[in-house]
Homo-oligomer: A and B are copies of this chain.
Amino acid sequence: MSLNIKDIAKLAGVSPATVSRVINNTGNVNEESRERVLKILGETGYKPNALARGLIHKRTNILGIVVPDISNINFSELVKGIEKEARNHGYNIILTTSGNEFEKEIECFQMYNEKRVDGIIFSGTRFTENHKIEMDNSTAPFLVFGQDFEHEKLLTVNIDNNKAAYDAAMFLFSKGAKNIAMIGGPLWDRAAGYSRFMGFLSAAVENGLNPKELIYEEGDFTIKSGYRIMKSILNKKIVDAVLAANDFMALGAIKCLSDEGISVPDEVQVMGFDDNIISEIYNPSLTTVKIDFYEAGKICAKALINKINGIEVEKNVKFPYEIVVRKSTK
């Protein structure tokens, strides 16, 4: 059914080598043969087998992507950016989702190794010994998005979470907040948990708050946990502003406050992280630290492809964020 290069060669009355030379535009083929081959190529619609090509060149032009959940809009935007940029450079992507489970992540890495992808982009939260082993063994370069894992072979792309959280908290203070609580991520998440907490802490101390009395509770980035923690905070202390480590938790907090009859932003200001699509249409709309995942995806793809092609790249890329002011703050 499917033709191969030998068939084409026979049809054109030349050798496979010549056909290959025509297809790849490596010189040394005279005009007449060239045209005969091109004619047959057009008629048959022959396409060279990428497997055989990959075997020779030790390249597949495929990037392997691992994200926790593609139906989370942040990650789908990220993947969209990666795919867009990758395709512009002649690369395709194999996509797998991990649900943030380590074993699945490791499985994916191994699969990508078998498939001989040219590079791997990984978005996850933890860096276990097994992750390290896979990266050590991998011939394909790794890029981690959204974390600052330290590994000699690793590229990372991330925002400066510490500074972003600091800026967000300072913004709340500038809007008259005196007592800010944080609905944070788990501290083992070094980026969205730990670093954002540290930024928050700096700003709080700078504004005269006592670090001992600071309210920080760990959620799991869901709307539900935001709701639950907001309720718990209300029982402990009177606050006039809440900084959440992502938009979902911020939205949960707003829902809780409105259920309790507390006005946002008049009595309590709320701020999130990410700029989820829902944050704009929610009522009240959410002030947040916008992270452009689509652009981030492009940056990831470009950096990794450069690395693959031996072009010098920055090892730890920081990309910009932006505070988007809406109705949940004064």
A residues near B (Cβ < 8 Å) are: 1-2, 45, 47-52, 54-55, 60, 62, 69-71, 73, 76-77, 79-80, 83-84, 87, 92-97, 110-111, 113-116, 137, 139, 277-278, 281-283, 294
Question: What separation, in Å, do the CA atoms of A113 and B47 have in the docked complex?
Answer: 8
Q: Is the CB of B114 within 8 A of A50?
A: yes
Task: Report B-chain residues with C-beta under 8 Å of the C-beta of A73.
Answer: 71, 73, 76
Tell me if B111 and A49 are in contact (CB < 8 A): no
Q: Which of B45, B51, B70, B114 contacts A137 (CB 8 A)?
A: B45
Give CA–CA (A87, B97) in the complex, Å. 10
Least Cβ distance of A79 to chain B in Å?
6
List of B residues within 8 angstroms of A62 by Cβ: 94
Cα separation A267 to B1 with both chains bound (whole Å): 62
Q: A49-B114, A95-B93, A114-B50 are in contact. Are A79 and B87 (CB under 8 A)?
A: no
> When the two chains form their complex, are residues B114 and A97 in contact, meaning their CB atoms are under 8 A apart?
no
Question: For the complex, what is the distance from the CA of A281 to the CA of B96, rounded to whole Å?
Answer: 29
Contacts of A111 in B (CB 8 A): 92
Distance from A142 Cβ to chain B, minimum over Cβ atoms (Å): 15
In the bound complex, residues from chain B placing their C-beta under 8 Å from that of A137 are 45
**CB-based contact B97/A80 at 8 Å:** yes
Knowing that A49-B114, A62-B94, A278-B281 touch, tell me 12 more A-B residue pairs with CB under 8 angstroms: A50-B115, A69-B80, A70-B79, A70-B80, A83-B96, A83-B97, A93-B94, A94-B94, A94-B95, A95-B95, A277-B278, A278-B278
CA distance A76 to B94 in the complex (A): 15
The one of B45, B92, B116, B294 in contact with A94, judged by C-beta atoms closer than 8 angstroms, is: B92
Of A69, A70, A92, A110, the most chain B CB neighbours within 10 A belong to: A70
| Min distance, Cβ A192 to any Cβ of chain B, angstroms | 21
- A282 CB contact (under 8 Å) in B55, B84, B114, B281: B281
**B residues in contact with A294, CB < 8 Å:** 71
* A83–B75 CA distance with the chains assembled, in angstroms: 15
Chain B residues with Cβ under 8 A from A84's Cβ? 97
Kindly state the separation between the CA atoms of A96 and B97 in the bound complex, as whole angstroms. 16
CA distance in complex: A51, B117 (Å): 10
Name the CB-closest residue of B to A72: B76
Contact residues in B for A71 (Cβ distance below 8 Å): 73, 76-77, 80, 294
- State how many angstroms separate the Cβ of A143 from the closest Cβ of chain B: 18
Across the interface, A96 reaches (CB within 8 A) one of B1, B48, B92, namely B92
Looking across the interface, which residue of chain B has its beta carbon closest to that of A283? B283
Output the least CB separation between A23 and chain B (Å): 11
**Residues in B whose Cβ lies below 8 Å from that of A282:** 281
